[in-house]
Amino acid sequence: MERLNLTTAPSSSIRLSGISKAFEGARALDDVCAEIRIGTIHALVGENGAGKSTLGKIIAGVIGPDTGTIEFDTTPVQFASPRDAIAHGVTMVAQELALVPTRSVLENVYLRAEDHFGPFVRTRKLRDRFQQLSMKTGIFIDPSSIVGELSVADQQKVEVLRALARNASVIVMDEPTARLATDEALGLRSIIKRLREAGTTVIYVSHFLEEVLDLADDITVLRDGKVVSSGSASGETTGSLVELMIGRTVDTAFPEKSFPQEFDGPRLEVRELSGSGFADVSLDVRRGEIVALAGLVGSGRSEVLRAIYGADATTGGTVMIDGKKYERRSPQKSIALGTVMLPESRKTQGLFLNFSIKDNVSISALDRFSNWSFVRPRVESTSVSGFLDDVRVKMHDMSQPVGGLSGGNQQKALFAKALITEPRLLLVDEPTRGVDVGAKRQIYDLLTRLAQDGLSILMVSSEMEEVIGLAHRVVVMRQGHVVGTLAHDGVTERQVADLAFGKPSADTEL
């Protein structure tokens, strides 16, 4: 792959130089330099969390970089807002669609770009414009249908039309096919190719490598927020891209893994579990074992975890805990059975941000601290403070609101909240999301220690290091199915990535 030569500046290109961005202390992008040629399809690829979506959002002005510049034809631009970016002809089709679901296609496409006569919208003129747009792009949708009633694929098309209606010459697409069926994805691909023929520049963020190879003229590969390569797509293969994306050694920030001679019998047995977003999932977690559920974002990992916990309904299959069939699952039954889940988003699913640390930690275990129905404050405080110490939450005192803690300490408080129920099976979704490096190591130590004490852990993680560094076994999911299980010795990132990205197993050997 050709390296970028930044000294010669071709006239029609978007140049990114020195772009860095951090979220809550965690570095998402680090000194990113790349060149996007006008009129091409430029793919951004990388593992979960490599920073590809962040980079896409920065290009579209959805978020601003901490440092670095974006130049359009050598003119530096700075977008203060998406609206600003639109004025420069740059827009984004986001992963989460931003349409007004209750209004018509026509209204959505021309929202804030209406032809008007005084305060009146000139609907007929809009319809004419819409028809021209349809002819130009080959996207045909009834302009009067209500957006909320359309399929996801059609909604995506509406987003594309809306982008074009604003005369966008650069469109950033973030995982546009992630939620589409195969034929719909193919349809979108041909639309994207048509856009390129019409001179539009498409920045295509995706983790479907075959799609990327089919579409892209140029590819920028990101790893841990850094550009590992940027240049022409020709000559690249799925294998070479995966190589570039991972190519990193597990650092020593992980505690020693201890493998007991033999794990005592299974604590959790899942058989052919199916539900929304996954099907026929079978897996076991034994006593004292850490099993990682790996896979790409959207592969159904979190859904499986939530289904086991009873947070979401399932359509088939069985769950056994400690050898007993566990039916009619619900979070509160799970807790009673010694199973607790740390949800993916601590802010929206895990914590009550306005409540005190104490009230947060004790909520799932109040029956332990109450006589009849009355909470015994002293017993509660003693127990809560014990668990907070155990997970090393830094705080003034536990009556302060949990929302005032740093991300790492909030996450540790979330662990205390789970552990206070004295679980035997811990379901953890993204144990270190949005957590600084120091707290990460503490959480890793904690998980390892808990497993040594006999706790069984089923962990979903998008951080490959974590999966490799912590898990005794790795169950890999792809598009809602388990595609392989890798046992402890010698699990490599390469193996996991190949399974997760769906690379033919014949190529697995290096």
Of 5-13, 131-139, 333-341, 501-509, the segment contacting other proteins by CB under 8 A is 333-341
Q: Compute the least distance from the CB of residue 102 to other proteins, in Å.
A: 16
Q: Is 366 in the site for other proteins (CB under 8 A)?
A: yes
- Per CB under 8 A, does 378 bind other proteins? no
Distance CA 391, CA 34 (A): 42
CA 442 to centroid of chain Cα atoms: 23
> Edge-to-edge strands of the sheet including 201-205?
90-93, 170-174, 201-205, 41-45, 218-223, 226-232
Q: Under the criterion CB under 8 A, does residue 373 sit at the interface with other proteins? A: yes
How near is the Cβ of 374 to other proteins at its closest, in Å? 6
Nearer to other proteins, 347 or 488 (CB): 347
Q: How many CB atoms lie within 10 A of CB 286?
A: 18
Question: Judged by CB under 8 A, does residue 328 bind other proteins?
Answer: no
Contact flag: residue 387 with other proteins (CB under 8 A): no
Please give the size of the binding site for other proteins, defined by CB under 8 A: 31
Considering only residues 375, 394, 449, 488, which one is a binding residue for other proteins as defined by CB under 8 A? 375
Closest CA to 86 of 109, 62, 108, 70: 62
Strand arrangement of the beta sheet that strand 456-460 belongs to: 339-342, 425-429, 456-460, 290-295, 473-478, 481-486
Q: Which is nearer to other proteins, 263 or 415 (CB)?
A: 415
Query: In Å, how far are 311, 360, 362 from 414, measured between CA atoms?
Result: 17, 8, 10
State the minimum distance, in angstroms, from the CB of residue 350 to other proteins. Answer: 6
- Is 485 within 8 Å of 286 (Cβ atoms)? no
| Residue 396 in the binding site for other proteins (CB under 8 A) | yes
Contacts of 307 (CB under 8 A, 6+ apart): 273, 275, 278, 313, 314, 329
Residue 276 binds other proteins, judged by CB under 8 A? no
Residue 350 is a binding residue for other proteins (CB under 8 A):
yes
The single residue among 282, 364, 406, 492 that binds other proteins, judged by CB under 8 A, is: 364
Can you read off the two tokens belonging to residue 75?
A: 């003119």
Residue 459 CB, nearest approach to other proteins (Å): 17
Using CB under 8 A, which of the segments 93-101, 133-141, 153-161, 341-349 binds other proteins? 341-349
User: Buried b vs exposed e over 448-481: b needs ≥16 C-beta within 10 Å?
Assistant: bebbeeebbbbbbbbbbbbbbbbbbbbbbbbebe
Q: DSSP for 141-166?
A: --TTSBGGGS-HHHHHHHHHHHHHHT
- CB 97 → other proteins: shortest distance, Å? 22
| CA dihedral of 91, 95, 101, 107, whole degrees rounded to 10 | 20
- Is 355 a residue that touches other proteins (CB under 8 A)? yes
Q: For residue 102, state whether it binds other proteins (rule: CB under 8 A).
A: no
Contact with other proteins (CB under 8 A): which of 180, 250, 363, 395?
363
Interaction residues for other proteins, span 305-324 (CB under 8 A): 309, 311
Asked if 146 interacts with other proteins (CB under 8 A), we say no
Using DSSP, state whether 233 is helix, strand or coil.
Answer: coil
Closer Cβ to other proteins, 240 or 370, answer by number? 370
Cβ atoms of 14 and 170 within 8 Å: the answer is: yes
> CB of residue 480 vs other proteins: minimum separation in angstroms?
22
Give the tokens for residue 44: 């951004």
> For binding to other proteins (CB under 8 A), which residues are involved?
309, 311, 331-332, 334-336, 341, 343, 348-355, 359, 362-364, 366-367, 370, 373-375, 396, 401, 417, 421
